[in-house]
Amino acid sequence: MVEQGESCDDDPTPTGYLRLTASDGQSLNPELPRWRNLKGSYSRFPIGERKVGQIAASGKPIFLTNLENEGAWMRDPEWGRREHILSFAGQPLIFRGEILGALALFSRAILSVEALEVLRTFADHAAAAYANARAFEEIDCLRKQLELEIEYLREEVMEVHAHGEILGESSALSKVLRQIDLVAETDSTVLIEGESGTGKELIARAIHERSERADRPMIKVNCASISKDLFESEFFGHVKGSFTGAIKDRSGRFELADGGTLFLDEVGEIPIELQGKLLRVIQEGELERVGEESTRTVDVRIIAATNRDLKKAASDGAFRQDLYFRLSVFPIESPTLRERPEDIPLLARQFLQRAAERFQMPMPLLKQRHVMQLQHYAWPGNVRELQNVMERAAITARNGALTLDLPRSDNLPQPLHSKADGGIESKILTYPELKELEPENLKKALEQTGWKVSGNGGAAEMLEANPTTLASRIKRLDLSKRA
C-alpha cells in the first residue's frame, strides 16, 4: 500500500510522490526475506508514472492479466519473470472524494474480475483507516508544535507582563505610534533602530498585536546570543541524529513563527558569513532542517531591531547590503528618553507603582523635585535604566520617603527640555522669570493630582508647601479647572 502527501514523521514525503507504507510477500527463493522492506528502491513512487502512479493520479483501477508479455508495465521485467508474476490489480484509496494513495496486488495466478472487486472493498476499508490514522498523526503534530511554542513563549510572556505597553504622550513617541498604525496592517518587513533600552521590542509587539497575524505567536530571537555552530539549527531546526546532541527532531524559530511574526533582535550581530542563509529564507519562504533533504515552506513576517547603524555597516561591508535593503523596507527610529523628557513623569510613576505592587508595599510619593531630578539626567540607558532606578528607589524608600540614586547633577549634561520648548537649554532664570513660571507650575501640579490641594497625594504634598498657603496662592492667581 502506498500513500501520498507530507508526513509528520522523520521521513516526510516530497510533493508529487507516493510513499510505500505497507508491503508483504514471499519470493520463490525461500532463502530471501519476505518483502516487507519500506525503505528500499521502491519506497517512493512518482505520481503519474507506472501502474501505481497512474492509479493515484487518475483515481481509477488498473487490472492486468498478461504481465509475461507486458514488459512495458513492469519496472523490473526480470524480477517479474523470475518470480512468475502473471497478474496485477490495483485500486485507488479514496476517502470522501480525496485520493489518498493506492492498494496494489501482484499475483502468480491469473486473477479474475471478481478479485478486483474484492480488492475494492479492501481499499475502501484501508482508505478510511488511513484517513483516521492521518488525522490522529496531524493532531499529534499540532500537540508537539504547541508544546514547543509554549516552551519558547513562556519566558516571552513573562517579559511582556514585566515591561507592559508603550507609555508616553510626547511628540517623538506619537510619531512612532503613527508609524506602527501605518505598517501594522501590512505584511511589510520592519527595521526598528535605536539605542539599547528604548523599547524596540515593545514597538515590535505593538506592530504584531495590531496585525492580522495577532492570533499567531511572535517568536523572538536574540541574534547576538546564537553561536555560529548552532545558527542553522536555531533558525531552521534539525532532525534527530543530524549532529552530536541532536537527540530528537526540533522545529526552528522560523517554523514556530509560521503564520505569525519573527522578531530578530540585535540583527546586526549575525556574522556576515551566515547572513546569506537568512536572506534566502526571508526572500523565498523555504528552508531545510539540518540533516533533512526535503524543503519546508513557511509564512513569516520579519521585524528586525538593532542598536547599530546598519546602513553604515552595509556601506562598510560589515553587513550584507542585500539583507539590509530586504530588512529596511519600513524603518522606524525608536526615540531615546533624552528626546522625550515630558514622558519621564508618567513612566516614573508607572514603574514605581508596579514595583510597589510587586513588593507588596505602599507606593512612595513621587514629588515635583524628584521629577525635576529625573528630567535633568541624561539617561544613557534610556527607559530600561529609568525602570531600574525607580525599582531601586521603591526598595530603598523609608516611610514613603523616596530617594533617587542618580549621579550628581554637576557631573551631568545640561538640563533636558522638550524639543517643543526649543531643545536643550542652560539659561539661568531671574527671580521675576521664576515668578512668571509659578502659575503654570502650580497648574500642572493641580492637574496631576486631580485638583486635590491637601491630604495624601495632594498638590501641597507634591510641592512641599503648606496647604493653607497653597490654597491662598491658587485663589490669588485665579486658577481653576477651566483656566
pLDDT for residue 10: 47
Distance of CA 103 to the CA centre of its chain: 42
CATH fold for the domain made of 2-138: Beta-Lactamase (3.30.450)
Classify residue 84 by its DSSP letter. Answer: T
pLDDT for residue 8: 53
Domain boundaries, the chain: 2-138, 164-335, 337-427, 428-483
pLDDT for residue 282: 93
Please state, in angstroms and as integers, the Cα–Cα distance from residue 403 to each residue in 9, 347, 384, 397, following that order: 60, 17, 19, 7
Residues in the chain: 483
Closest CA to 92 of 183, 14, 18: 18
Cβ-contact 294, 14 below 8 angstroms: yes
Please state, in angstroms and as integers, the Cα–Cα distance from residue 351 to each residue in 271, 298, 392, 395, 457, following that order: 36, 39, 10, 12, 17
pLDDT for residue 329: 95
Tens-level pLDDT at each residue, the chain (483 residues):
666 655 554 445 566 788 888 888 889 988 888 888 877 777 777 888 878 888 888 999 999 887 766 666 677 888 888 888 888 899 999 998 888 889 999 898 888 889 889 999 989 998 898 888 878 877 877 777 676 666 555 545 444 443 346 888 899 999 999 999 999 999 999 999 999 999 999 999 999 999 999 999 999 999 999 888 888 888 998 888 888 777 777 888 999 999 999 999 999 999 998 899 999 999 999 999 988 888 899 999 999 999 999 999 999 999 999 999 999 999 999 999 999 999 999 999 999 999 999 888 888 888 888 888 898 889 999 999 999 999 999 999 877 788 888 865 444 444 444 444 444 344 555 666 667 777 888 888 888 777 888 877 778 877 777 888 888 888 888 887 654
- Using CA atoms, how far apart are residues 60 and 120, in angstroms rounded to an integer? 11
The pTM (predicted TM-score) of the whole model is 0.57
Residue with the three cell numbers 539659561: 427
Query: What nine digits make up the cell of 213?
Result: 497575524
For domain 164-335, the CATH superfamily is P-loop containing nucleotide triphosphate hydrolases (3.40.50.300)
pLDDT for residue 148: 66
DSSP assignments along 97-154, one per residue = TEEEEEEEEEESS---HHHHHHHHHHHHHHHHHHHHHHHHHHHHHHHHHHHHHHHHHH
What CATH class is the domain 337-427? Answer: mainly alpha
pLDDT for residue 243: 81
Please state, in angstroms and as integers, the Cα–Cα distance from residue 157 to each residue in 190, 337, 365, following that order: 22, 25, 30
Please state, in angstroms and as integers, the Cα–Cα distance from residue 246 to each residue in 11, 13, 254, following that order: 16, 22, 18
Closest CA to 221 of 156, 157, 274, 173: 156
